[in-house]
Structure 1
């Protein structure tokens, strides 16, 4: 665990939950340091196995808690805001194995995770439970519809015949998308499951093994990544030769783009409905200017964008974390 240099009184600190390799968070932490806002960086999945200790007391008189390391102690009642960035998954101590390690990992998830998600008086960007709820793609599509977005025709099913019928019924092309970025290997080598086109005759009975997401392809002119921090919106147009621009980011071009008023209203409605402060929205935009919602990652990366946009997002996040309390 590390804290801002020179911080001796962590009362009113910003607590950043992330792993030690998360360089994106450093952009925001530097801004907070320049503003002399106390910051404590903590990775609950690993730091508790490296000498840190977390305690919380509950009773009629209220709630108290401390986070202690070898060098400092943080009063959890004085945390002004919590940034749930990219903490490591909870795991048991390395010296344990088998069911003992699994037991310790589960107790950490429900105990440590519960404490850090219930700090009195703290504002969250985003609350970890809201993050998790908003990661489900079916929930994203339902929220998008309720928020007024245009949404491509989509089917989520484990029925092979239903999938074939849906794909065959579309006037244009259809893509398959994984519902979650699950680790996948072929011959021992890690693979990325990209968005790809699919034809009805390609769909096998293997679809019955689990739900699959099939979506009508938008006849897009370009993509847009819109990053929302509270009520502030930052959008870039993405021109890429690939169906899925993430596949070869070195080939894409990003330029700032204005957000139509209707889209902005729907973004803010989506954030309110999903209880999010931060969201990374992806859109496909047609030649006539129609923005189609594809997904919203409640904890998406943003530091890959043009420097001016990245800097603006970093300052917006610092503002959001600083203003709390």
Structure 2
């Protein structure tokens, strides 16, 4: 399907895995607003998701799935949640699959990147850049957010000096995701207290390690940014569960409540996401007894459905409004 000159692109392309509950909430909200939605997972390409396009100064053609098709020129916005990797026939050997994956990424990704005037939540290249923790920390500090003192090293011999820069209490945090896959087994690496001896372990030399001062927190805050709106919630630990250094370690012990960020923190966070080129982000803070909010992490495609379940914050409505242009 091609648009006539006086027509306007009106379809929201949702790219995610089939079981994504957060995306389900957004799709339902889009449908409630009578928006056109085309949902697909890149993991279905090329077995059941197809692309057929041509170029004559701009790209024309369709993305097709068993559930329907969408014209490239009909796409007004793209919601990138958690699409999976391309899937190829098992008859292809490893070298063939690697080559096919490179070709698919350049073709499918390149076509989507070329969409004129498209709203992205988030643009893949901006989201990829924002995943880098060192960039997050320096951007947060430049925007006025408090940031824990941090060390990144693979030199065990520097442990004593570096630990002194972080104060009396130090934690280890991964620079990438918390999950580590080993075949079908998945382990989680949570924020962990460490000693000088831990930092001096010879295994530190094997890769980069991130160490931070341990902030004496009284609560955690998850702040979800959608466009220029911020939806924040306290993450509180039940009294009988004791202190959790990393709240992800025990979801059953948590309770949540909506909260307003201090205006200075909110403004700085919005400046940060703007500088990173993000229209969506899930940011985590630890808060001290004097109400200082320390920025600790930002996820450009973070989960938020469970926060909505607990607090009824209108995050899905805000994302849908952003994708349909109703927030402008």
Instruction: Give your verdict on TM over 0.5.
Output: yes
Q: CA deviation at 1:311?
A: 4.7
Corresponding residue of 1:245: 247
Distance 1:220 1:75 in 2: 50
Give the one of 130, 134, 138 matched to 2:134. 138
**Residue matched to 2:256:** 254
Pairing partner for 1:220 from 217, 220, 223: 217
Distance 1:63 1:189, change over 3 A: closer
1:84 and 2:80 equivalent?
yes
Aligned to 2:144: 148
Q: How does 1:1-325 map to 2 (within 5 A)?
A: 12-50=10-48, 52-59=49-56, 61-70=57-66, 72-181=68-177, 183-184=179-180, 189-203=185-199, 204-240=201-237, 241-307=243-309, 309-323=311-325
2:307 alignment partner, SS class: coil
Go from structure 1 to structure 2 and tell me whether the alpha carbon gap of 1:153 and 1:35 turns closer, same or farther (over 3 Å shift): same
Hey, what's the Cα distance between the residues in 2 that align with 1:139 and 1:312?
29
**Distance change in 2, residues 1:169/1:99 (3 Å):** same
Query: TM-score with structure 1 length normalisation?
Result: 0.90
Higher mean C-alpha deviation, range 41-50 or range 77-86: 41-50
2: CA distance, partners of 1:41 / 1:188: 28
Q: Which moved more, 1:179-188 or 1:160-169?
A: 179-188
| Structure 1 segments unaligned to the other structure (5+ residues) | 1-8
Shift of 1:235: 0.6
Q: Secondary structure at the match of 1:45?
A: helix
SS at match of 2:249: coil
The Cα shift of 1:46 comes to 1.9
Q: Which range is displaced more, 83-92 or 307-316?
A: 307-316
* Match of residue 3 from structure 1: none
Q: CA deviation at 1:55?
A: 3.2
Distance 1:142 1:219 in 2: 22
Q: Secondary structure at the match of 1:89?
A: coil
2: distance between equivalents of 1:134 and 1:277?
A: 12
- For structure 2, the 5+ residue unaligned runs are 1-6, 238-242
How many Å apart are 1:81 and its aligned residue? 0.4
Query: Counterpart of 1:19 in 2: which secondary structure?
Result: coil
Q: Which residue of 1 aligns with 2:4?
A: none
- CA deviations on 1:54-111 (whole Å, 9 max, x unpaired) are 134334x333232123453311112110001110023433331221111111211222
Once the two structures are TM-superposed, the CA of residue 322 in structure 1 deviates from its matched residue by 1.1
Alpha-carbon distance in structure 2 between the residues aligned to 1:24 and 1:205: 42
CA contact (8 A) 2:219 2:286 kept: yes
Q: Measure how far apart 1:114 and its partner are.
A: 1.9
TM-score normalised by the chain length of structure 2: 0.90
> More displaced, 86-95 or 126-135?
86-95
SS of residue paired to 2:222: strand
**Aligned partner of residue 288 in structure 1, secondary structure:** coil
| Cα distance in 2 for residues equivalent to 1:196 and 1:295 | 15
Equivalenced residues, count: 315
Q: Is the 8 A contact 1:150 1:293 kept in 2?
A: yes
